[in-house]
Structure 1
């Protein structure tokens, strides 16, 4: 027997009609046969449910617009797969799509929790780094993520039940009717998705677009943006364009005869230490009567100290901090700068110093291939770099040598460089302060309050205390070797270490003014031999380190016509600067406030950078427009730099 979709059914599966006979007993009723559900609506329903679960975990309770956006994008995707896999291939293709999307949503949630933004296809560039990040990612796992796989775990049981003898195959559509039905799904879903994306096309806030468009819509939006023409800048006039824009926001003294601190460290070595995950609230903090950072506290006593220094990293985090300090160019955000632009000829601090006879080297305890550091080192012009195998000895994390090993091994090289007679610039990138903060118990010296024992914040404090003690030993050895008085010394935190809101309450038990936004606040200390202490209340960022260091070393960026998107902190009256990527585009800080962008400026919020109190956004529009123009100009500049 053939049913309406052409499927043959065994006649024994259905009761045959029998003529009624007088006096014969009434036959027992046969169980009613049902048709299995069609795979398209079933898979569509499951995918939409998972998209809403993702919304709930990442953004909170879904709104009607978000639900419509998810249904439309899912319908377009499911319909397209069904069209491309007709007949017997349809069901396996749709269930494979369901499984793949489940994996993607879990990865996207972990990525969102780590970076506070959704991944796009550009994240594939960093897929090979996942193993090294596994310990940091593990702390983000939650049992809720298993809900994305419940249907897949039950699928074999449900499939066996639905293919039993009491079920008929699902109704099917053949030929043109099938194409019409699925084609309508694709077209309508794509049109609605397009309308949603177009409605937010002028929104710079990636987090807002992610929440409004949904996971699938956000991926489509990223693809559309990637296909748009890349902005370009005339390199011959780049310095003038950047200087003119910066002059609209602030005033900088560029005349070497008038600039504060110009040449105060001329001819000195430059030692720059990047302190992993160190946040400013730890500086000066005492726990149970013990200083968490005694070394930095003492160093601040005879240095320039910038308590309002903020991270300016993109997706590359640590490697982007190295990029920012060596180039004074904003990270793009959607790709680590070492990966996306490591093939360019980049104007940089090492190249500026090379022209003045300096040798430049960098020390990184991981392999240089990690996050494409080797491409960055070559792009910015380091003469030599030292990686994991240069640091034999104890290490207690996946990144590489512990800080005391890094400093001890590096000191030998610094002494070799001094014997060569040439001044040197070295950048040391530490790793012991990196999550998940598992410092061996014998190295933990802080006595923590009982309520912080076994917490992430407690482990963070122990890691930063160890890192500070190792730094202190390094500085003592520099003094003993006579290198301290011969060197300009810079230390700064690269990016936030506590990136989840559930850590805020524990931090507030130590610093009541702490807010989640203050995680972007990382310390900056600059020591010039023989100087007195100077606490600088102006806002600072990683892009400002190069111009400030250049001024102290007696290098006039104006005379060099060097394009820097940061400012000389000692000679600029005030400025506004972007906090990119980990905060919505348009987020900035000035000397008093942090502004967090909403859909645009009008629905944004402002907070005092000292205590986090909410403030009015009145008068901030000029800074907002300036920061957006500056990061656009920075992107156009780096896109225009020639490849090596």
Structure 2
């Protein structure tokens, strides 16, 4: 035993041994912080392994810098680098505790509301255990000063130092490969900073954010007010005026947007074994008080849900790569629905989501949009088995949402983001007895089960709105954010559609998602106009009596007789009432017949449509990449100041409580300050034995 200890000490008395000790202690400390101080959601064995493994490459590379220096300097430099990295980890722990996200260079550069709020509440934020991130630094300094480890004064060859750096880089390459095998498009889609840290580590996230910030800043620095001219000309040329029959008919009503995750149009009226998959949504779709659109397409790119939200809120397309909300949501200026409705009609606004606030950078992008409240996972009580996949199960989420919905001053604009109908469409048996499809595809077959569960959740919400009387003065907006079954499942898609083979035309029509607007007294019906998610905001604005012709929005009112009915897809393909282009092939839209050899007249028409689509997408990209809305000062609209918003739990609840006193228009206030929460009935089995829900105070 003594001999073994002597060998260990002898090894530590070498520079390489001291380096190995420093790397090991740094890795252990980082893993401890990841597991206890952050909510990274490493649930699988692969993710747990990567969470531990990703601490090594950065430690080897960064601490290895000291190996290029001689004598005592290399030892102290190693300790200094460790101390600096520990301080960065410490800072992120504090920031994460307040904002559920990691520090970005934009936060540092802007010294915005987040850093201000953090500075004011440091004493409340710091936990004594946070200082454990310095434990290894202190330990190493002590053993050096006490000479328990001798400084190895021998020359450490540069080629050895370079070899260690190369080993660090190779390990990082292996880390990146394993991360991509478990989570494809990890960096190109950038949907959540938590994911990057979970798979690749805090140090890599910092470098990645720095590169991304520098690139975005360079593009924005080159942009100027003159870049707005072609955008304004194009939008003015293609503006579609409102429909006089509908203009302003919904003014002053509450708006509840039901974000139907991965919900496709073909689910409407679809039956499995004679049973309707979505009877409640079907009923809404066919209601005489519902404007339903049966040729409405998703237009998302890699940003998926975040692209759908951006189009909904600001009528701007997502970017060709990545997520605009993630890369530009923090810094860009927007003229989005929450701010427009607040400034024009005095609406309060809130978004509800039963997952972490950092997903898709919502915690920052929503401030840019002007959302007054963002009720994320931490606002909701926890019960056993309440989370499935990407957040709270819909029945629990919607029930608990009513607790806050009744407190919002009216009129309000509220977006409710459901998640249970999300890939891979897994749901526990106690929550469904609906039959699965029998295509033989394990992804497609359970899709109808989670969709049915979502439909049941919607019914419970509608029952609550009816029971409390809130629905009488509320507009329900339901939309599917993107496809649920991707084009990679062609054999199963063919079985769903009852076809032998699937064409590119079928895949184009497969991109349809529901969009419907329901309100008491609304002159409804199924509208066959062709449109997409980019058109939602102008449509709602005109219904509320807000003219959209002054805003820089790339959609057109779906009810307008002047709309051109060209639906661009993010990749440049398109659909019109007469022609469809998908995967580079042309079809007649009505019957799906291919157009193998277009006539000259047809080709000229295709070229004109393509020019419109390319220009439409390209100018929208310029608005986002150049942050052009910062140069567009619209009379009567005040730019959103992100410092005015915080989604900190205690501060938001305090603000909500004060708002009810100031305006006295919330459902709860109108009900003599008595809660209607118990009027919400759900059959969620998770509440069978736990009916007392404790909300944060």
Aligned equivalent of 2:618: 632
Q: 1:576 aligns with which of 544, 550, 566?
A: 566
Work out which of the two has the higher radius of gyration on C-alpha atoms and give 1 or 2. Answer: 1
Aligned equivalent of 2:529: 538
Shift of 1:318: 1.7
Identify the range of structure 1 (548-557 vs 436-445) with the bigger mean alpha-carbon deviation: 436-445
Q: Does 1:361 align with 2:361?
A: no
Shift of 1:547: 0.4
TM-score by length of 2: 0.58
Q: Return the alpha-carbon distance in structure 2 between the equivalents of residues 542 and 431 of structure 1.
A: 19
Q: Does 1:129 align with 2:204?
A: no
Shift of 1:442: 2.1
Check 1:637–1:124 CA distance in 2 against 1; reply closer, same or farther (3 A cut): closer
Aligned equivalent of 1:340: 327
Q: 2:541 aligns with which of 539, 550, 554?
A: 550
List per-residue Cα deviations over 1:419-464 (Å, max 9, x = no partner): x4x3111000001101121111122232245x34772212111001
Secondary structure at the aligned position of 2:536 is classed as helix
Aligned equivalent of 2:284: 299
Checking the alignment, whether the CA contact within 8 Å between 2:579 and 2:588 is kept in structure 1 is: yes
Checking the alignment, whether the CA contact within 8 Å between 1:608 and 1:614 is kept in structure 2 is: yes
List per-residue Cα deviations over 1:372-412 (Å, max 9, x = no partner): 11011101000111010222245241322211112212223
Q: Return the alpha-carbon distance in structure 1 between the equivalents of residues 181 and 245 of structure 2.
A: 48
CA RMSD of aligned residues (A): 3.5
Secondary structure at the aligned position of 2:427 is classed as coil
Aligned equivalent of 2:519: 528
Secondary structure at the aligned position of 1:538 is classed as strand
Q: 2:365 aligns with which of 376, 382, 387?
A: 376
Q: Does 1:614 align with 2:600?
A: no
List per-residue Cα deviations over 1:199-222 (Å, max 9, x = no partner): xxxxxxxxxxxxxxxxxxxxxxx9
Checking the alignment, whether the CA contact within 8 Å between 1:313 and 1:333 is kept in structure 2 is: no
Secondary structure at the aligned position of 1:461 is classed as helix
Secondary structure at the aligned position of 2:620 is classed as helix
Q: Does 1:507 align with 2:493?
A: yes
Secondary structure at the aligned position of 1:539 is classed as strand
Aligned equivalent of 1:431: 419
Shift of 1:311: 1.8
Q: What does residue range 218-257 of structure 1 map to in structure 2 within 5 Å?
A: 238=228, 241-242=230-231, 244-246=233-235, 252-254=240-242
Shift of 1:223: 13
Q: Return the alpha-carbon distance in structure 1 between the equivalents of residues 564 and 621 of structure 2.
A: 23
List per-residue Cα deviations over 1:455-502 (Å, max 9, x = no partner): 22121110011101111121122122112221111000111222252x
Aligned equivalent of 1:623: 609
Check 1:86–1:314 CA distance in 2 against 1; reply closer, same or farther (3 A cut): farther
Higher helix share: 2
Checking the alignment, whether the CA contact within 8 Å between 2:565 and 2:576 is kept in structure 1 is: yes
Q: Return the alpha-carbon distance in structure 2 between the equivalents of residues 474 and 132 of structure 1.
A: 35
List runs of 5+ in structure 2 lacking aligned partners.
1-156, 201-211, 631-640, 643-697
Q: Return the alpha-carbon distance in structure 2 between the equivalents of residues 225 and 351 of structure 1.
A: 28
Check 1:339–1:573 CA distance in 2 against 1; reply closer, same or farther (3 A cut): closer
Shift of 1:269: 0.7
Count of aligned residue pairs for this structure pair: 446
Check 1:102–1:596 CA distance in 2 against 1; reply closer, same or farther (3 A cut): farther
Checking the alignment, whether the CA contact within 8 Å between 1:321 and 1:542 is kept in structure 2 is: yes
Aligned equivalent of 1:389: 378
Secondary structure at the aligned position of 1:615 is classed as coil
Secondary structure at the aligned position of 1:271 is classed as strand
Aligned equivalent of 2:443: 456
Check 1:232–1:481 CA distance in 2 against 1; reply closer, same or farther (3 A cut): farther
Checking the alignment, whether the CA contact within 8 Å between 1:589 and 1:595 is kept in structure 2 is: yes
Q: Return the alpha-carbon distance in structure 2 between the equivalents of residues 233 and 512 of structure 1.
A: 51
Shift of 1:359: 0.3
Check 1:411–1:225 CA distance in 2 against 1; reply closer, same or farther (3 A cut): closer
Check 1:133–1:267 CA distance in 2 against 1; reply closer, same or farther (3 A cut): farther
Shift of 1:533: 3.5
Check 1:499–1:133 CA distance in 2 against 1; reply closer, same or farther (3 A cut): farther
